[in-house]
Amino acid sequence: MPADNVSDLATRVTLERVDAARRQYFGMFIGAAALEGFGLAAFLLLADLSNRTHLLILVAAILTYGTIGLGLCALGVYTRWWALRIVRAVDGNPIDS
């Protein structure tokens, strides 16, 4: 088998794995978002928002999840940036810092 065919096969297999991982990630993301939405809806239906303790719990939960969500978004951007640098390096394109 010529080296070009082996390289093309390896590239195709790798891209198929990347695509499968992306589909799994988005499926898990949608599932987690639906579960969190269900939990928030249940809390809002069951909470007595005139009770200041319930309101404090709601605000604390929103602030906590907001901070974690922003951190995960920043991590995703950073990881994607490194992945694109690796792809550029493999393709032989110059890498900008």
59 pLDDT higher than 80? yes
Same domain, 97 and 55: yes
The reply to whether 37 and 55 lie within a common domain is: no
On whether both 39 and 74 belong to a single domain, the answer is no
Task: Give per-residue pLDDT as tens, 15-52.
Answer: 888 889 889 988 998 999 899 999 999 999 999 989 99
pLDDT exceeds cutoff 80 at 95: no
Q: 81 and 58 in one domain?
A: yes
In this structure, are 65 and 92 located in the same domain? yes
CA 36, 42, 46, 50 torsion-angle sign:
positive
Domain tally, the chain = 2
**Are residues 75 and 92 part of one domain?**
yes
Residues 93, 84 contacting (CB under 8 angstroms) = no
- State pTM to two decimals: 0.64
CA distance 27 to 36: 14
What integer pLDDT is reported at residue 67 of this predicted model? 94
> Same domain for 55 and 40?
no
Its domain, for residue 1, covers 1-46
> What is the predicted pLDDT for the residue at 46?
93
Q: From residue 55, how far is each of 47, 52, 58 by CA, in Å?
A: 8, 5, 5
Residues of the chain above pLDDT 70, percent: 91
- C-alpha 55/C-alpha 43 separation (Å) is 11
